[in-house]
A and B are shown apart, each in its own frame.
Chain A
Amino acid sequence: MNAWRKPGLWLPLVLVLAAGAWPMITGREATREVIFTALMSVALASSLNILLGYTGYVSFGHIVFFGLGAYVGFYMMSALNMPLPVAALAGGLSAGLLAFLLGKAILRLRGAYFALATIGVNEAARAFVNNFHPFGGPIGMRLNFRFYDAYGGAATALWTTFAILVGLTLVLLVVSYLVKYSKFGLSLLAIRENEDAAQVMGVVAPNAKTWAYVISAIFPGIIGVLFFFKNGNIEPTDAFRLHLSIETIVMVMLGGQGTVLGPILGGAGYQRLRGTLLVTPLFKDIQLTVAGILLLAIILFVPAGIVGWLRGRFPMLRRVLE
């Protein structure tokens, strides 16, 4: 396939691979944790980008797929004693299934109505899980420490989880690139620009939107299982945190919506910035305020994000940054 020769595909892959290999070579746990958080943000932002950037639908409650997938996978591990790969797949598939069922209904709504509906779905899911006893209600569930023995003990299990996340992020980036340059992706871009016109030109908008929604939901579902497997316990407030949902949107905006590389720069950059603010004595207490001011500055002055700005400023970069 000649897509492999395009810098727009391998540049993101090389970046993620280098970031993933770094802690594996040095063997430092602290670096691994930092990169894990960054890669998780990159993956969440990239999957949201398929819906937000390509299709133009603002999902404010996208974290519902992260939470639901995590709960399904976690339940399979803690109650049914299933291995991690099966649980992760089940988490991803159940998130995709929820997106498929929801998609047919709420993707009919446009603009702000859709955004509001996704917030409603997330809050309804959180409130429901809070009351759902098999999932432990408000207390949530925890993994027995013995569970990690099958993965060579807790310390090795953390490395395994990290390696899986790196692999998953690479797959996601390839999917993101292929979607963008496929006929399917073109129909998504057409929907983003003008949905009615796209339908007149023969795009079956409801189906295309639903599949974009499903793809962008599967990956958060798997990531949720990985994250809470690593965590060892899960609670409704952690799994369905609306704030994380909005942070993901910020990452996509920061990097550049609708680009493959953007969510990588946005996700990693946002986490880096947050880390720096948290340890700087001057900003420690008001890190949220500083982040807010930055976000406002981006929206007001650089709405296209880093990649969009670079592409506009340096036309020769357009062949490299996609």
Chain B
Amino acid sequence: MAEMLLPSLVDGLLLGFVFGIAAMGLSLIWGVMNVINLSHGPIIALGMFGVYLSFTHLGLNPYLALILVAIGGLLVGVLIYAVAVHRVLNAPHLSTLLATFAVNMIIIGLGTAAFTVSPYNVDFTLGSLTLGPIRVPLSRLAAALAALMVTGVLYLFLNRSRPGKYIRAVANNRAAAELMGIPSARVLALSFGLGTMLAAIAGGLIATFFPFTILSGGGYELRSFVIVVLGGLGNPLGALFGGLILGTLEGVIPVFTVTTWVPVFEFVLFVLLLLVRPTGLFGRRR
């Protein structure tokens, strides 16, 4: 058992980075505009298919394709914000939840018509690296590194650049930010776009090592909810740590019991955390 523990731990941790950036997108959107984006899953799936299509039809290297996927994710997010979210931003929660769920239905409907629900995979391997008892597929390692890089860039963007500071100002107090002359509608659209961009990138990274269908995003969306609550709703960097925790759990629990028990633990933990520490493990006490 001990010799299985270390490899599964490493596996889970590497996967956790990718889960982390998917959840970061959800957390960013919540933090800036108090919207839970229920179209998160389909966007992750679109990211997967983005990488797949650019790999098979344009012959692009999957990691280069990620740049295209990121731009696409940003644009789709801005579009979703403009069409579905902006008008109901100040309405009760139910409206934004349902509006983003409507977007979810639209994307899944079109996606199923275009790709059916059969599985696809990106036929691309980087080989694997062996370190003592641990054998790591390089694609996982690359995905974890890419996720870290994305986190770093996001951190710098939010803290150093002018639009990033705008985003934080709007998240902090929209009315005050508007009084200071910040164009809040554009900033909100940008934040939504960044959130979906992160989801699309996460999807693209997952596509490099797992097979997927148009419906695969749903599972990652649910995981993102758990992670976001672990890290604290609205705390994008907490989401990365939440992702690592969830990845570790997913890696380690199957060593001790049947894999199918993993979601039971995850969601029980999720509900308990919401009850006990809704601000997350790293959040401030209310």
Contacts and interface: CB of A to CB of B under 8 A. Distances in A.
B109 A131 contact: no
A244 B258 CA distance: 28
Contact of B274 (A109, A288, A303): A109
Nearest to B229: A116
Interface string B234-261: 0000000000000000000000001011
Interface in A277-302: 285-293, 295-296, 299-300
B278 interface: yes
**Interface SS of A by simple majority:** helix
A115 interface: yes
A288 B101 contact: no
A115 B88 CA distance: 18
Query: How big is chain A's contact interface, by range?
Result: 35 or more
A253 B104 CA distance: 17
**Interface SS of B by simple majority:** helix
Contacts of A124: 263-264, 267-268, 270-271
A22 interface: no
Nearest to A56: B92
Nearest to B36: A112
A60 interface: yes
B165 interface: no
B98 A285 contact: no
Contacts of A138: 260
14 contacts: A56-B92, A106-B274, A106-B275, A112-B93, A116-B274, A117-B274, A120-B225, A124-B264, A131-B261, A286-B113, A290-B109, A292-B103, A299-B99, A303-B95
B281 to A, nearest CB: 16
B158 interface: no
Contacts of B222: 119, 123
A108 B97 contact: no
A120 B98 contact: no
Given A121-B271, A124-B270, A292-B105, 6 more contacts: A113-B233, A116-B36, A130-B263, A285-B112, A299-B95, A300-B99
A119 B225 contact: yes
Contacts, number: 124
B222 to A, nearest CB: 6
A250 B275 contact: no
B121 interface: no
Leading 10 A-B pairs by shortest Cβ distance: A289-B109, A292-B105, A288-B109, A124-B267, A127-B263, A292-B106, A296-B102, A295-B102, A285-B113, A127-B264
Interface in B86-128: 87-88, 91-95, 97-99, 101-106, 108-110, 112-113
A109 B112 contact: no
Interface of A: 52, 56, 58, 60, 105-106, 108-109, 111-113, 115-117, 119-121, 123-124, 126-128, 130-131, 138, 246, 249-250, 253, 285-293, 295-296, 299-300, 303
B79 to A, nearest CB: 13
A113 B260 contact: no
Interface in B54-97: 83-84, 87-88, 91-95, 97
B216 interface: no
A296 B103 contact: yes
B100 to A, nearest CB: 10
Interface in B3-41: 30, 34, 36
Contacts of A106: 271, 274-275
